[in-house]
Amino acid sequence: MTALLSVKGVKTYYGNIVALKGVDVEVNEGEIVTLIGANGAGKSTLMMTICGAPRAREGSISFAGRDITGLPTHEIMRLKIAQSPEGRRIFGRMSVYENLQMGAAVAGNTHFQDDLERMFDLFPRLKERLHQRGGTLSGGEQQMLAIARALMTRPRLLLLDEPSLGLAPLVVKQIFDAIRDLNRSEGLTVFLVEQNAYHALRLAHRAYVLVNGLVTMSGTGKELLERPEVKAAYLEGGH
Ligand SMILES: Nc1ncnc2c1ncn2[C@@H]1O[C@H](COP(=O)(O)OP(=O)(O)OP(=O)(O)O)[C@@H](O)[C@H]1O
Ligand SMILES: [Mg+2]
Protein backbone atom coordinates (compact mmCIF):
# COMPACT_ATOMS: atom_id res chain seq x y z
CA MET A 1 0.00 0.00 0.00
CA THR A 2 1.32 3.44 -0.81
CA ALA A 3 0.87 6.12 1.81
CA LEU A 4 -1.60 8.96 1.29
CA LEU A 5 1.08 11.42 2.37
CA SER A 6 4.74 10.58 2.02
CA VAL A 7 7.54 12.91 3.12
CA LYS A 8 11.00 11.71 2.15
CA GLY A 9 14.34 13.21 3.12
CA VAL A 10 12.86 16.69 3.40
CA LYS A 11 15.21 19.55 4.24
CA THR A 12 13.78 23.01 4.83
CA TYR A 13 15.79 26.16 5.43
CA TYR A 14 15.08 29.66 6.70
CA GLY A 15 17.86 31.53 4.96
CA ASN A 16 20.98 29.63 5.95
CA ILE A 17 19.43 28.04 9.00
CA VAL A 18 18.32 24.47 8.51
CA ALA A 19 15.02 23.75 10.28
CA LEU A 20 14.34 20.27 8.85
CA LYS A 21 17.41 18.11 8.31
CA GLY A 22 16.04 15.24 6.26
CA VAL A 23 12.61 14.22 7.56
CA ASP A 24 10.78 11.03 6.62
CA VAL A 25 7.11 10.73 7.60
CA GLU A 26 4.22 8.72 6.17
CA VAL A 27 0.49 9.02 6.76
CA ASN A 28 -1.77 6.26 5.47
CA GLU A 29 -5.38 6.70 4.47
CA GLY A 30 -7.67 6.50 7.52
CA GLU A 31 -4.91 7.01 10.07
CA ILE A 32 -4.38 9.55 12.82
CA VAL A 33 -0.65 10.23 12.92
CA THR A 34 0.85 12.45 15.58
CA LEU A 35 4.13 14.32 15.55
CA ILE A 36 5.43 15.38 18.94
CA GLY A 37 8.46 17.50 19.73
CA ALA A 38 9.71 20.34 21.87
CA ASN A 39 9.52 24.07 21.06
CA GLY A 40 11.55 24.83 17.99
CA ALA A 41 11.91 21.18 16.89
CA GLY A 42 10.49 22.02 13.48
CA LYS A 43 6.93 20.72 13.82
CA SER A 44 5.19 23.75 12.34
CA THR A 45 7.87 23.98 9.68
CA LEU A 46 7.04 20.44 8.57
CA MET A 47 3.30 21.23 8.39
CA MET A 48 3.99 24.35 6.39
CA THR A 49 6.49 22.61 4.12
CA ILE A 50 3.80 20.03 3.27
CA CYS A 51 1.67 22.99 2.17
CA GLY A 52 4.48 24.40 0.07
CA ALA A 53 5.52 27.47 2.09
CA PRO A 54 8.35 27.40 2.94
CA ARG A 55 9.36 24.98 0.23
CA ALA A 56 11.49 21.88 0.77
CA ARG A 57 15.00 22.55 -0.52
CA GLU A 58 15.77 18.83 -0.72
CA GLY A 59 13.74 15.65 -0.60
CA SER A 60 10.25 15.00 -1.85
CA ILE A 61 6.63 15.12 -0.73
CA SER A 62 3.91 13.12 -2.40
CA PHE A 63 0.17 13.08 -1.83
CA ALA A 64 -2.24 10.50 -3.22
CA GLY A 65 0.50 9.20 -5.49
CA ARG A 66 1.37 12.59 -6.91
CA ASP A 67 4.59 14.53 -6.38
CA ILE A 68 3.58 17.85 -4.80
CA THR A 69 7.06 19.06 -3.80
CA GLY A 70 7.11 21.88 -6.32
CA LEU A 71 3.42 22.79 -6.43
CA PRO A 72 2.18 26.24 -5.35
CA THR A 73 0.22 26.25 -2.09
CA HIS A 74 -3.16 26.94 -3.68
CA GLU A 75 -2.76 23.92 -5.93
CA ILE A 76 -1.80 21.74 -2.98
CA MET A 77 -4.95 22.90 -1.16
CA ARG A 78 -6.99 22.01 -4.21
CA LEU A 79 -5.87 18.39 -3.76
CA LYS A 80 -7.94 18.45 -0.56
CA ILE A 81 -5.33 19.00 2.07
CA ALA A 82 -6.74 21.32 4.75
CA GLN A 83 -4.68 23.00 7.42
CA SER A 84 -5.67 24.36 10.77
CA PRO A 85 -2.53 26.35 11.50
CA GLU A 86 -0.92 27.16 14.83
CA GLY A 87 -2.47 30.32 16.29
CA ARG A 88 -5.77 29.49 14.56
CA ARG A 89 -5.90 32.32 12.02
CA ILE A 90 -9.62 32.58 11.63
CA PHE A 91 -11.17 35.70 10.11
CA GLY A 92 -11.64 37.88 13.18
CA ARG A 93 -14.05 40.39 11.69
CA MET A 94 -16.29 37.80 10.11
CA SER A 95 -18.98 35.90 11.98
CA VAL A 96 -18.71 32.22 12.78
CA TYR A 97 -21.16 31.55 9.95
CA GLU A 98 -19.13 33.56 7.44
CA ASN A 99 -15.93 31.82 8.49
CA LEU A 100 -17.55 28.46 7.82
CA GLN A 101 -18.91 29.70 4.51
CA MET A 102 -15.40 30.71 3.50
CA GLY A 103 -14.12 27.22 4.23
CA ALA A 104 -16.85 25.69 2.12
CA ALA A 105 -16.46 28.23 -0.70
CA VAL A 106 -12.73 27.63 -1.03
CA ALA A 107 -13.44 24.00 -1.79
CA GLY A 108 -16.52 24.58 -3.93
CA ASN A 109 -18.45 22.57 -1.36
CA THR A 110 -22.01 22.07 -2.53
CA HIS A 111 -23.12 20.36 0.69
CA PHE A 112 -22.93 23.51 2.77
CA GLN A 113 -26.12 23.06 4.78
CA ASP A 114 -25.48 19.39 5.55
CA ASP A 115 -21.90 20.06 6.55
CA LEU A 116 -22.94 22.99 8.71
CA GLU A 117 -25.25 20.65 10.63
CA ARG A 118 -22.38 18.18 11.04
CA MET A 119 -20.19 20.93 12.50
CA PHE A 120 -22.96 21.84 14.94
CA ASP A 121 -23.14 18.20 16.06
CA LEU A 122 -19.38 18.16 16.48
CA PHE A 123 -19.08 21.54 18.18
CA PRO A 124 -22.49 22.63 19.55
CA ARG A 125 -20.85 25.79 20.87
CA LEU A 126 -20.41 27.07 17.33
CA LYS A 127 -24.15 26.90 16.74
CA GLU A 128 -24.79 29.04 19.82
CA ARG A 129 -22.22 31.57 18.60
CA LEU A 130 -23.12 31.51 14.92
CA HIS A 131 -23.48 35.26 14.44
CA GLN A 132 -20.71 36.36 16.77
CA ARG A 133 -17.53 37.78 15.27
CA GLY A 134 -14.69 35.28 15.12
CA GLY A 135 -12.31 37.65 16.85
CA THR A 136 -14.48 37.88 19.94
CA LEU A 137 -14.73 34.10 20.49
CA SER A 138 -12.83 32.55 23.36
CA GLY A 139 -9.58 30.73 22.58
CA GLY A 140 -11.24 27.31 22.67
CA GLU A 141 -14.13 28.48 20.49
CA GLN A 142 -11.68 29.94 17.96
CA GLN A 143 -9.86 26.63 17.85
CA MET A 144 -13.14 24.79 17.25
CA LEU A 145 -13.96 27.26 14.49
CA ALA A 146 -10.53 26.83 12.85
CA ILE A 147 -10.97 23.06 12.79
CA ALA A 148 -14.58 23.30 11.59
CA ARG A 149 -13.56 25.69 8.83
CA ALA A 150 -10.89 23.25 7.68
CA LEU A 151 -13.43 20.42 7.75
CA MET A 152 -15.89 22.41 5.65
CA THR A 153 -13.49 21.89 2.75
CA ARG A 154 -14.14 18.13 3.05
CA PRO A 155 -10.43 17.35 3.16
CA ARG A 156 -8.79 14.04 2.35
CA LEU A 157 -6.09 15.00 4.81
CA LEU A 158 -6.51 17.29 7.79
CA LEU A 159 -3.36 18.93 9.15
CA LEU A 160 -3.69 20.22 12.71
CA ASP A 161 -0.96 22.29 14.31
CA GLU A 162 -1.28 22.26 18.11
CA PRO A 163 -5.06 22.33 18.44
CA SER A 164 -4.71 22.10 22.24
CA LEU A 165 -2.49 25.16 22.59
CA GLY A 166 -3.57 27.35 25.49
CA LEU A 167 -6.80 25.48 26.11
CA ALA A 168 -8.30 24.11 29.31
CA PRO A 169 -8.19 20.31 29.71
CA LEU A 170 -11.93 19.96 29.20
CA VAL A 171 -11.84 21.82 25.89
CA VAL A 172 -8.81 19.82 24.78
CA LYS A 173 -10.75 16.67 25.50
CA GLN A 174 -13.73 17.91 23.45
CA ILE A 175 -11.51 18.71 20.51
CA PHE A 176 -9.61 15.41 20.63
CA ASP A 177 -12.87 13.48 21.02
CA ALA A 178 -14.21 15.26 17.95
CA ILE A 179 -11.13 14.28 15.95
CA ARG A 180 -11.46 10.66 17.08
CA ASP A 181 -15.17 10.58 16.16
CA LEU A 182 -14.54 11.93 12.68
CA ASN A 183 -11.78 9.42 12.13
CA ARG A 184 -13.95 6.52 13.28
CA SER A 185 -17.19 7.52 11.59
CA GLU A 186 -15.84 8.91 8.32
CA GLY A 187 -12.30 7.57 8.11
CA LEU A 188 -10.89 11.10 8.11
CA THR A 189 -7.10 11.05 7.82
CA VAL A 190 -5.34 13.35 10.27
CA PHE A 191 -1.76 14.52 10.75
CA LEU A 192 -1.57 16.15 14.14
CA VAL A 193 1.29 18.18 15.61
CA GLU A 194 1.23 18.49 19.37
CA GLN A 195 3.19 19.34 22.47
CA ASN A 196 0.38 17.88 24.55
CA ALA A 197 2.05 14.50 24.12
CA TYR A 198 -0.05 12.38 26.42
CA HIS A 199 -3.39 13.04 24.76
CA ALA A 200 -1.96 13.20 21.27
CA LEU A 201 -0.21 9.84 21.60
CA ARG A 202 -3.33 8.24 23.04
CA LEU A 203 -5.31 9.50 20.07
CA ALA A 204 -2.77 8.44 17.44
CA HIS A 205 -2.58 5.19 15.53
CA ARG A 206 1.08 5.97 14.86
CA ALA A 207 3.43 8.70 15.96
CA TYR A 208 6.80 10.31 15.35
CA VAL A 209 9.13 12.24 17.62
CA LEU A 210 10.91 15.22 16.08
CA VAL A 211 14.09 16.54 17.70
CA ASN A 212 16.01 19.43 16.19
CA GLY A 213 14.72 18.87 12.68
CA LEU A 214 15.15 15.10 12.68
CA VAL A 215 12.79 12.21 13.40
CA THR A 216 14.35 10.25 16.25
CA MET A 217 11.59 7.75 17.07
CA SER A 218 8.45 6.29 15.58
CA GLY A 219 5.94 3.63 16.48
CA THR A 220 2.34 3.18 17.47
CA GLY A 221 0.99 5.83 19.82
CA LYS A 222 0.84 3.20 22.54
CA GLU A 223 4.46 2.13 21.99
CA LEU A 224 5.74 5.68 22.23
CA LEU A 225 3.70 6.34 25.36
CA GLU A 226 5.56 3.49 27.02
CA ARG A 227 9.06 4.43 25.87
CA PRO A 228 11.15 5.72 28.80
CA GLU A 229 12.78 8.41 26.61
CA VAL A 230 9.35 9.73 25.66
CA LYS A 231 8.14 9.62 29.23
CA ALA A 232 11.18 11.51 30.46
CA ALA A 233 11.18 14.19 27.77
CA TYR A 234 7.52 14.72 26.93
CA LEU A 235 5.33 13.26 29.65
CA GLU A 236 7.11 14.50 32.76
CA GLY A 237 4.29 15.55 35.05
CA GLY A 238 2.50 15.79 31.72
CA HIS A 239 -0.98 14.63 32.40
N1 LIG B 1 10.16 32.44 9.50
C2 LIG B 1 11.24 31.97 10.14
N3 LIG B 1 12.46 32.54 9.95
C4 LIG B 1 13.55 32.06 10.59
N5 LIG B 1 13.55 31.01 11.42
C6 LIG B 1 12.37 30.41 11.64
C7 LIG B 1 11.15 30.85 11.02
N8 LIG B 1 10.14 30.07 11.45
C9 LIG B 1 10.70 29.17 12.29
N10 LIG B 1 12.04 29.37 12.40
C11 LIG B 1 12.95 28.57 13.22
O12 LIG B 1 12.90 27.22 12.80
C13 LIG B 1 12.93 26.34 13.92
C14 LIG B 1 11.71 25.45 13.92
O15 LIG B 1 10.57 26.26 14.18
P16 LIG B 1 9.10 25.68 14.20
O17 LIG B 1 8.17 26.80 14.31
O18 LIG B 1 8.92 24.74 13.05
O19 LIG B 1 9.12 24.82 15.56
P20 LIG B 1 7.95 24.07 16.32
O21 LIG B 1 8.41 22.67 16.55
O22 LIG B 1 6.67 24.27 15.62
O23 LIG B 1 7.95 24.83 17.72
P24 LIG B 1 6.73 25.24 18.69
O25 LIG B 1 6.39 24.00 19.46
O26 LIG B 1 7.33 26.27 19.57
O27 LIG B 1 5.60 25.73 17.85
C28 LIG B 1 13.06 27.24 15.16
O29 LIG B 1 14.41 27.29 15.52
C30 LIG B 1 12.56 28.58 14.68
O31 LIG B 1 13.17 29.64 15.37
MG1 LIG C 1 4.90 25.18 16.10
Q: Whose CA is nearest to atom 27 of ligand 1?
A: 39
Q: Ligand 1 atom closest to Cα of 43? A: 21
Within 10 A of 45 (CB to CB), how many other CB atoms are there?
Answer: 20
Of the chain, the percentage scoring pLDDT greater than 70 comes to 97
Within 10 A of 66 (CB to CB), how many other CB atoms are there?
Answer: 9
- Give yes or no for residue 1 having a pLDDT over 70: no
Structure confidence at residue 109 (pLDDT):
73
Question: Which CATH number does 1-80+156-239 carry?
Answer: 3.40.50.300
- Supply the pTM of this predicted model: 0.92
> Maximum CA pair distance of the chain?
48
- Give yes or no for residue 144 having a pLDDT over 60: yes
> What secondary structure letter does DSSP report for 64?
T
Residues with CB under 6 A from ligand 1: 14, 17, 19, 37, 39-45, 86, 195
Q: Whose CA is nearest to atom 3 of ligand 1?
A: 14
Structure confidence at residue 2 (pLDDT):
83
Rounded mean pLDDT of the chain? 91
Q: What gap in Å lies between CA 175 and CA 122, rounded to an integer?
A: 9
> What secondary structure letter does DSSP report for 136?
G
pLDDT in tens, 112-128: 899 999 899 889 999 99
Structure confidence at residue 66 (pLDDT):
96
| Least confident segment among 23-37, 81-95, 135-149 | 81-95
Helix or strand holding residue 151 (H, E):
helix 139-151
- Give yes or no for residue 228 having a pLDDT over 80: yes
Pocket test for ligand 1, best of 43, 47, 208, 210 (most atoms within 8 A of CB): 43
- pLDDT bucket at 72, cuts 50 / 70 / 90: very high
- pLDDT bucket at 167, cuts 50 / 70 / 90: confident
Q: Ligand 1 atom closest to Cα of 37? A: 21
- Give yes or no for residue 90 having a pLDDT over 90: no
Residue closest to 219 by CA, chosen among 201, 233, 231, 232: 201
Structure confidence at residue 35 (pLDDT):
97
| Ligand 1 centroid, distance to 11 Cα (angstroms) | 14
Q: Ligand 1 atom closest to Cα of 47? A: 18
Q: Whose CA is nearest to atom 4 of ligand 1?
A: 14
Instruction: Find the mean pLDDT for residues 90-111.
Output: 86
Q: What gap in Å lies between CA 123 and CA 136, rounded to an integer?
A: 17
- Give yes or no for residue 106 having a pLDDT over 80: no
pLDDT in tens, 170-224: 888 888 998 999 999 989 999 999 988 999 999 999 999 999 999 999 999 999 9
Sketch the domain layout of the chain as residue ranges: 1-80+156-239, 89-154
| Ligand 1 centroid, distance to 122 Cα (angstroms) | 31
- Angstrom CA distances, 148 to 118, 172, 179, 200, 222, stand at 9, 15, 11, 19, 28
